[in-house]
Amino acid sequence: MLPLLRRTFIRYNSTIANATAAGKSPTAIVFMNMGGPSTIQETHDFLYELFADNDLIPISKKYQPTIAKYIAKYRTPKIEKQYREIGGGSPIRKWSEYQASEVCKILDETSPNTAPHKPYVAFRYANPLTDEAYKQLLNDGVKRAVAFSQYPQFSYSTTGSSINELWRQVKKLDPQRTINWSMIDRWPVHQGLINGFSENITRKLKEFPENIRDKVVLLFSAHSLPMDVVNTGDSYPAEVAATVYKVMQNLNFSNPYRLTWQSQVGPKPWLGAQTAAITKFLAPKVDGLVLVPIAFTSDHIETLHEVDLGIIAESPYKDKIKRCDSLNGQKLFINGLASLVKDHLQTGELYSKQLPLDFTLGKSSDPVEDLSLLFGDHSKK
């Protein structure tokens, strides 16, 4: 399926190139995410970029690059093995390119005044990296771009890091400010997201016998955060909880549920309770469990390996534990994304009202000092 989706992405870009040649600069829709290695060979570089990011993992402003080299070298064999076990790489690029292309196709129909729309993917730690995507924007003659965070719930360590990296590339690659940027920095309760999760949960619950279906416990699982990040006032825990509550409200609170947290690494305290621990505790006591990856918009190693091959496959009660499908190529979700971008383009909003406070509270070794320097039209200034 990967070659087919990649050809679709390239073919759509070719169509936009023809429109651009006709004289109209495209509106770039840039999907921003952490990314993942598409091949085994990319794993080391991915890990280095990840551990070198002081916004995500604040170790040492001065020595972090050196420390990251050692951590990446040490962890690469283990992580390469995990990627082999899920098919030879992360599918996040495949799904990001597909989602971005489909959103732009819809926008060309629903928002003709901002057409043509051209899809891009800019990852923080894997190819295509932010600098690679920015160079392509410049080569394509883009004058207007929307940075669209694919983290529905904002954290300074994820979305904030992507914004800081975008600012670094603006200064490096586009000092004349030829591109007018705006940002969709959070969307935790957008109806398209809520409907997408609700549909997938409902479908998964139907796999259980009808007489126990409403007793199945829904365990919403999100990537955890170190408590030293949470204690800065980071908005992520509250926004994840808001998504969970909105989904349950959409489902008329049909089932018992809890929010849990996964993917903790290292000795520091992390936000809990841990998904693995709660699953282990509840599995023998309940009629069924559905794990819902509530902070991910597509499959990647945390769903395919940590949850599927770890938490579920290794449980003695695996026959009554299921994972809700990730959103991936779901049409309801993609239509929601297109609606969200259309509204953003029509309102002219540069970023959310919460973002300045996020950057006031967030800690970084190389931050955007003033959001107004990054977003908006600077071409004549």
272-296: pLDDT as tens digits: 999 999 999 999 999 999 999 999 9
Active site residue 373: no
Q: Tell me whether residue 15 is in a domain.
A: no
- Does pLDDT of 57 surpass 90? no
| Catalytic residue status for 210 | no
Q: Choosing from 120, 125, 134, 151, which is the catalytic residue?
A: 125
Question: What values do phi and psi take at 228, rounded to 5?
Answer: -70, -25
Is the predicted pLDDT of residue 380 greater than 70, yes or no?
no
Q: Are residues 196 and 183 in the same domain?
A: no
Is pLDDT at 14 greater than 70 in this prediction?
A: no
Q: Print the domain residue range for 105.
A: 27-188+333-373
> Do residue 66 and residue 103 come from a single domain?
yes
176 and 279 together in one domain: no
For residue 21, what pLDDT band results from cuts at 50, 70 and 90? very low
53 and 195 part of one domain = no
Decide if 125 is catalytic: yes
| 132-188 pLDDT tens trace | 999 999 999 999 999 999 999 999 999 999 999 999 999 999 999 999 999 999 999
Catalytic residue among 102, 302, 325, 358: 302
Catalytic: which of 5, 47, 50, 327? 50
Q: What is the CATH number of the domain that holds 350?
A: 3.40.50.1400
Which range, of 54-63, 64-73, 120-129, 272-281, averages the lowest pLDDT? 54-63
In a domain, 106, yes or no: yes
DSSP labels for 246-297? HHHHHTTT-S-EEEEEE---SSS-BSSSBHHHHHHHHTTTSS-EEEEETT-S
Kindly give the pairing relationship between strand 257-262 and strand 217-223: parallel
Instruction: Indicate if 248 belongs to the active site.
Output: no
Residue 233 lies in a domain: yes
Same-domain check for residues 48 and 121? yes
Whether 19 maps to a domain, the answer reads no
9 within domain boundaries: no
pTM, two decimals, is 0.92
Query: Which listed residue (306, 323, 327, 344) is catalytic?
Result: 306
Q: Which of 56, 193, 304, 327 is catalytic?
A: 56
Residues 163 and 202 in one domain: no
Q: Is 351 a catalytic residue?
A: no
Query: Is 129 among the residues known to form the active site?
Result: no
Q: Would 56 be classed as within a structural domain?
A: yes
Residues 195 and 64 in one domain: no
306 is known as an active-site residue: yes
Same domain for 203 and 63: no
Residues 254 and 314 in one domain: yes
The closest of 147, 224, 221, 209 to 179, measured between CA atoms, is 147
Residues 213 and 224 in one domain: yes
Instruction: Calculate mean pLDDT across residues 370-379.
Output: 93
Active-site residue, 56 included: yes
**269 and 348 belong to one structural domain:** no
Of 302, 323, 344, the residue at which a domain comes to its end is: 323
Residue 3 lies in a domain: no
Structural domain count, the chain? 2
- Within a domain: residue 251? yes
Same domain, yes or no: 64 and 100:
yes
CB-CB contact of 30 with 122 (8 Å): yes
Can you tell me whether residue 338 is helix, strand or coil? helix
Cβ atoms within 10 Å, residue 6: 15
For residue 11, pLDDT over 80 is answered with: no
| pLDDT for residue 23 is more than 70 | no
Known catalytic membership, residue 50: yes
